[in-house]
Amino acid sequence: MSKYLKINDYNLIANSKILIKNFHLDFKGITIMLGASASGKTLLLKDFSQSTLDTDGKVEFFFGKTLHKNNPISSYNIELQNLYKYLTMNHENEKQKLALIEVLSRNPDFLFIDDLDWTQNDLALLFMYTNKKNISVFYATSDINKTVFADYLIVLSDNKIAIEGETSLVYNEEKIMKLLGFNLPFYINMSRQLRYYGIIDKICFTKKELEANIKWQ
Amino acid sequence: MAIDTRTLLRNESMIALVNCHKRFAETNTLGVVKKQNYTKNITTKEYLKSFQHKEYKIDLILKMVMLEDKLKLIHLTDVESRKLELARVLLDNPHTLVLDEFFKGMIDKEITYFIRFLRNLINKKNKKIILITDDMNIVSAYFKHFYLFTKGENYIYIDNMFDDVIYKYVRMPYTVELVKYLEKKGHTIDHDITFNETLKAIYRGVGK
């Protein structure tokens, strides 16, 4: 039976001010929270990490901190070793990736992650792993291009949830997203325009999807 | 070759330095904007006042960089820190500004605003801007050429976003990634890396 984690009517208060009001969450799969810098994303996650959440599952948080002492990668199971091997192929943020491997090794049911400065490929690998292991992920970011991985998208603005829903439905609200300060992710935007010209039938989230769906002459 | 900002800026008002790890030192004519880790429990306005600037100028500059005056330094995000340092540097009024990863973490609306802001500084205040960044999406959108640092202070001039040497050091922008991918599949696409031109090129090259 799958685990649940619910957050209802949560107010984030900082310096006697309500930074985010009426936040709610009932998440499964990958939920991404998009918001500008200083919209409260990191504070919200830190607040959650210090609260007792309504859940029957195991919850872990990752704020990007590296470990003082790393366990050797060989001490983890083969799947995590493989994940680490592919994640560190471009040698960026190796210690941070090892620290996240350590968190994943604890087999959480729910994983909250504060924005990582990783490539799209690295994030894709991470989310493939969490999907396979039925780990529900809540990922906070200010980068619209990272939202392509989300099953569910929450957009913060003006101290509240401005828009939320299944990711493709949120992308349909292009004008609202522009008002909130976001252009659509590159491949979403490109495929929407190509669909207008009849070169493609569906909205594509990635380069591979776009290539696979273009109607060649 | 050693970095000489005057040589780099000779014919330009704004240049980009990619994969540059050099730390620039502030002088009377060179202001450096980079993220700071603040330890004092004072507000953004109090911080700028500590540099002996007039209050009305501080109020104005904080509005221009979209920062509230009562924010505490210790609670600032990286983006807010860079905005504050931009305010501080502008109050000093140097001739040249070095912006170190200034756009990192900003959303599209903020990037558009600050690009316009920097262009106004160039056109109306005769400033020169050096932008240090590894974000090739920004470089390809706003620059026709840039300097790529290959090792230490060695750099080369790049005026072709499709030059593979660039991507040994930094990530490819989406437009270049898409065009190169399509070319590998045997489709000839014009090498113009704006979004709209890439879209038109795909339509001309591969459309039904």
Residue of B nearest to A180 (CA): B109
d(CA B20, CA B155): 9
Measured in angstroms, the CA of B131 and the nearest CA of chain A are apart by 20
Chain B residues near residue A214 by CB distance under 8 angstroms: 202, 206
Q: Give yes or no: residues B152 and B195 share one domain.
A: no
- Minimum-distance CB partner of A38 among B79, B175, B199: B79
Q: Give yes or no: residues A58 and A141 share one domain.
A: yes
What is the average pLDDT score of chain A?
92
Domain extent at residue B52: 5-161
Q: Give yes or no: residues B95 and B18 share one domain.
A: yes
CATH number of the domain where residue B73 is located: 3.40.50.300
Q: What is the 3-state secondary structure (H, E, C) of chain A?
A: CCCCEEEEEEEEEECCEEEEEEEEEECCCEEEEECCCCCCHHHHHHHHHCCCCEECCCEEEECCCCCCCCCCHHHCCHHHHHHHHHHHHHCCCHHHHHHHHHHHCCCCCEEEEECCCCCHHHHHHHHHHHHHCCCEEEEEECCHHHHHHCCEEEEEECCEEEEEEEHHHHHHCHHHHHHCCCCCCHHHHHHHHHHHCCCCCCCCCCHHHHHHHCCCC
Q: Give yes or no: residues B138 and B193 share one domain.
A: no
The mean pLDDT value for A76-89 works out to 93
From the list B83, B142, B69, B135, the residue with the least C-alpha distance to B112 is: B142
Task: Give the model's pLDDT for residue B1.
Answer: 46
B166 within some domain: no
Whether the predicted interface score ipTM is above 0.85: yes
How many independent structural domains does chain A possess?
2
**pLDDT over 70, % of chain B:** 96
What is the average pLDDT score of chain B?
91
Q: Give yes or no: residues B93 and B154 share one domain.
A: yes
How many independent structural domains does chain B possess?
2
Q: Does any CB of chain A come closer than 8 Å to the CB of residue B174?
A: yes
Give A217's pLDDT tier (boundaries 50, 70, 90).
low
Domain extent at residue A111: 5-178
Measured in angstroms, the CA of B105 and the nearest CA of chain A are apart by 6
Q: Does any CB of chain B come closer than 8 Å to the CB of residue A88?
A: no
Q: Give yes or no: residues B38 and B110 share one domain.
A: yes
B107-123 pLDDT, tens digit each: 999 999 999 999 999 99
Task: Give the model's pLDDT for residue B208.
Answer: 44
A94-124 pLDDT, tens digit each: 899 999 999 999 999 999 999 999 989 999 9
Q: Give yes or no: residues A90 and A190 share one domain.
A: no
Chain B residues near residue A199 by CB distance under 8 angstroms: 202-203, 206-208
A66-70, B90-94, B141-145 — most confident range: B90-94
Q: Give yes or no: residues B74 and B114 share one domain.
A: yes
Measured in angstroms, the CA of B125 and the nearest CA of chain A are apart by 27
CATH number of the domain where residue A87 is located: 3.40.50.300
Q: Does any CB of chain A come closer than 8 Å to the CB of residue B171?
A: yes
Residue B17 has what DSSP assignment?
E
Q: Say yes or no to pLDDT of B207 above 60.
A: no
Task: Give the model's pLDDT for residue A164.
Answer: 95
Q: Say yes or no to pLDDT of A136 above 70.
A: yes
Residues pairing with A188 in the sheet: none
B119-171 pLDDT, tens digit each: 999 999 999 999 999 999 999 999 989 999 998 889 999 999 999 999 999 99
